Chains A and B, each alone.
Chain A
């Protein structure tokens, strides 16, 4: 079945540091790929998405590229801010549902 493997956390960075959170997937067919973000005490919000191979999703300075050859969708940001502290979920969409990774807790220190 479909599965998503996500870099384990927690991840702690200093403000303005470079961020990478790794995500790889296993799926049949041609899934869509997503990154969701969860701020403390809130529900999940869509951060970015890509629907086909080589697509790059971007939002709020975050980027991720759909790599079919490596089955990956790694999240990157060049310069993180304290306000980026949250839990980040990689997700795969196919058939009728989303399959989520286990989440990566990011803490950014001033």
Chain B
């Protein structure tokens, strides 16, 4: 049981290049999330997928696209990378989306460290 896996672990891009970050979970979770982590700013939600076939914008979606390929996989694409997208990206999953006061733990992958030059 690997939990949440992310590839690659590290990536360096030049401004304007594109790339896709991959995420997969083996816990049969319905909901998946992409966050970015920047110093002093905690984690900010980029996009999420409450269930297979649906995606929604989070707090900072500009410059990104996502695809929920199937129940297991949720990818994040940068079409034209910018230096402002230098960050650590985390994928997470949960059994279902949070609703009101219902507790619903999110499980995180190890992260992808992306540098855009």
Contacts and interface: CB of A to CB of B under 8 A. Distances in A.
Contact of A96 (B50, B92, B107): B50
A43 B101 contact: no
A103 B93 CA distance: 20
A22 to B, nearest CB: 15
A75 to B, nearest CB: 15
B43 A100 contact: yes
B98 A98 contact: yes
Contacts, number: 71
Interface residues of A, number: 26
A9 to B, nearest CB: 10
Interface band, chain B? 20 to 34
A32 B33 CA distance: 18
A41 B56 CA distance: 28
A30 interface: yes
A103 B60 CA distance: 18
Nearest to B90: A43
A51 interface: yes
Contacts of A49: 103, 105
Given A93-B103, A95-B98, 6 more contacts: A44-B43, A89-B42, A96-B98, A96-B99, A97-B48, A100-B42
Interface of A: 4, 6, 29-32, 41-46, 49, 51-52, 89, 93-98, 100-103
When A and B form their complex, which 7 residue pairs have the shortest distance between CB atoms, in order from nearest?
Answer: A43-B108, A100-B42, A44-B108, A100-B43, A30-B101, A102-B42, A51-B103
Interface of B: 4, 33, 40-45, 48, 50, 56, 58, 90, 92, 97-111
